[in-house]
Amino acid sequence: MSILVVGTGYVGTTTALVLAELGWRVTGLDTDDSKIKLLQQGSLPFYEDGLEALLKKHLQSGNIRFTTKTVKAIEQSDLIFICVGTPSQQDGSADLRYVKQVAMDIGRHMNGYKLIVNKSTVPVGTQEKVTRWVLEAQTRTHPFDVASNPEFLREGKALPDAMYPDRVVIGASSDHAAKLLKALYQSLKCPVVITTPKTAELIKYAANAFLATKVSYINELAKLCDKLGINVKEVAQGIGLDPRIGSSFLQAGIGYGGSCFPKDVSALLQTANEHDTELRLLEQVISINRAQHQHLLHKARQRLGTLVHKKIAVLGLAFKPDTDDIREAPAVNIIKSLLDEKAIVSVHDPVAKLPPELVHVSVTPCNTPEQALYGADAVFICTEWKSYQHIDWERIKRYMNDPNIFDGRNMLDARLMAAIGFHYQGIGYQC
């Protein structure tokens, strides 16, 4: 089978590389010329551990190539993965214009049977829409199937997640399509769920919304823990050992961000609205998350009296460690609030860059955490980068104007920080 992956963003590039690693011949297609050039030269347009080495390996093995030539790429492929973006629209629903464009391109240029597979996270019913768009665009009748095969990989762990998935979900419209996709993944040792396309589409949203719910649940509990002087980490450990609950996604903090959770929970709500169904739990999950970063600001305001003209060091911009992604990152909202309150901000992140919206006279990007912390009245930890654990906090304390740590990710040892002489507050966690 000759495989085409349309869209060389995060999911597309990872999918293409993992399929190349599994031994398939893969072409990555994108309309963005600069992205394709970069990939052809063996560089990634984003940061992800381990992926660049795989890219170089398979450019050399010949298992992967990249192109901007749509017509030829479609003609030469048997199986086409749609991995283009599905951004949120104003009302929270997913914008399918890029998916539609790809479906129409395939319809127009197909020259024989094609298995078209949606890997982008798309609303329930998209498989039917793609089928319609392909049919509408066809100039000559050719047989095809459209399947749904959602991707569950996490940023920062893309490679292990895609190489060793917990499950593969295949929503197929025919036995033939299911068989082809099963064969594609046969060397992955994991359960395969074969179901209808609609079910597969919902599974993806249901999984992300459930994980987001876990995060908002522990964040709510953390608020109570703060009031009761209880350590939320111990509560999470105590409940997480029950296998029915599970210990993952119970880390309290300043809220979830990224390109998936916020977008997908909103899109699921939107789908429910369209079908006259209220998902009140998920409405709360969203509103809890939107307000979550305010806790850190509130704690700082209480401690410092005011944030006006205070020098605040923000450690971490990315929505989570091991990525340079700042989409929906709580740190961005925190910095915006700090600026509204006339604070002076110094920011460090090991890889993420300050977005244009935060370029401001009162925001100084720093190359090292030490530089950001120099003379600060408080530090806000917004991303739990491992390197922040190795900061010489004892030494740094001497260089801060006022040794206050507001740990939005509960990553430092509260007792140790207090012993050093810091005023330390986490989220539902203090000394």
Active site residues: 260
Q: Does 12 bind ligand UDX (CB under 6 A)?
A: no
Judged by CB under 6 A, the residue of 258, 369, 403, 428 near ligand UDX is 258
User: Which CB, 249 or 374, lies closer to ligand UDX?
Assistant: 249
Q: Does 47 bind ligand UDX (CB under 6 A)?
A: no
User: Which CB, 50 or 112, lies closer to ligand UDX?
Assistant: 50
Of 255, 252, 254, 216, the residue nearest 237 (C-alpha): 252
The β-bridge partners of 424 are 405
Annotated binding-site residue? 189: no
Judged by CB under 6 A, the residue of 51, 320, 349, 380 near ligand UDX is 320
- Tokens encoding 28: 């990555």
- Tokens encoding 403: 């040794």
Radius of gyration (C-alpha) of the chain in whole angstroms: 24
What is the distance between the alpha carbons of residues 242 and 287, in angstroms, rounded to a whole number?
27
What is the distance between the alpha carbons of residues 277 and 272, in angstroms, rounded to a whole number?
5
Annotated binding-site residue? 86: yes
What is the distance between the alpha carbons of residues 390 and 387, in angstroms, rounded to a whole number?
5
Judged by CB under 6 A, the residue of 28, 107, 171, 257 near ligand UDX is 257
User: Which CB, 118 or 251, lies closer to ligand UDX?
Assistant: 251
Which residues are CB-neighbours of 337 under 8 A, at least 6 positions away? 293, 294, 297
Annotated binding-site residue? 249: yes
Q: How far is the CB of 136 from ligand UDX (least distance, A)?
A: 30
Q: Where are the alpha helices (DSSP H) in 67-174?
A: 70-75, 97-109, 126-137, 158-163
Q: Does 253 bind ligand UDX (CB under 6 A)?
A: yes
Q: How far is the CB of 257 from ligand UDX (least distance, A)?
A: 4
Q: Does 155 bind ligand UDX (CB under 6 A)?
A: yes
Judged by CB under 6 A, the residue of 133, 144, 256, 380 near ligand UDX is 256
Stretch that binds ligand UDX, among 128-136, 256-264, 272-280, 353-361 (CB under 6 A): 256-264
Annotated binding-site residue? 62: no
Stretch that binds ligand UDX, among 69-77, 146-154, 192-200, 360-368 (CB under 6 A): 146-154
Q: Does 292 bind ligand UDX (CB under 6 A)?
A: no
Q: How far is the CB of 398 from ligand UDX (least distance, A)?
A: 31
User: Which CB, 59 or 192, lies closer to ligand UDX?
Assistant: 192
What is the distance between the alpha carbons of residues 49 and 54, in angstroms, rounded to a whole number?
10
What is the distance between the alpha carbons of residues 99 and 391, in angstroms, rounded to a whole number?
45
Q: Does 407 bind ligand UDX (CB under 6 A)?
A: no
Of 380, 410, 389, the residue nearest 232 (C-alpha): 410
DSSP letter string, 333-379: HHHHHHHHTT-EEEEE-SSPPPPGGG--TTEEE-SSHHHHHTT-SEE
- Give the binding site for ligand UDX (CB under 6 A): 151-155, 208, 211, 215, 249-251, 253, 256-258, 260-261, 319-320
Going by the annotation, the residues of the binding site are 30, 35, 86, 121, 152-155, 204, 249-253, 257, 263, 320, 327
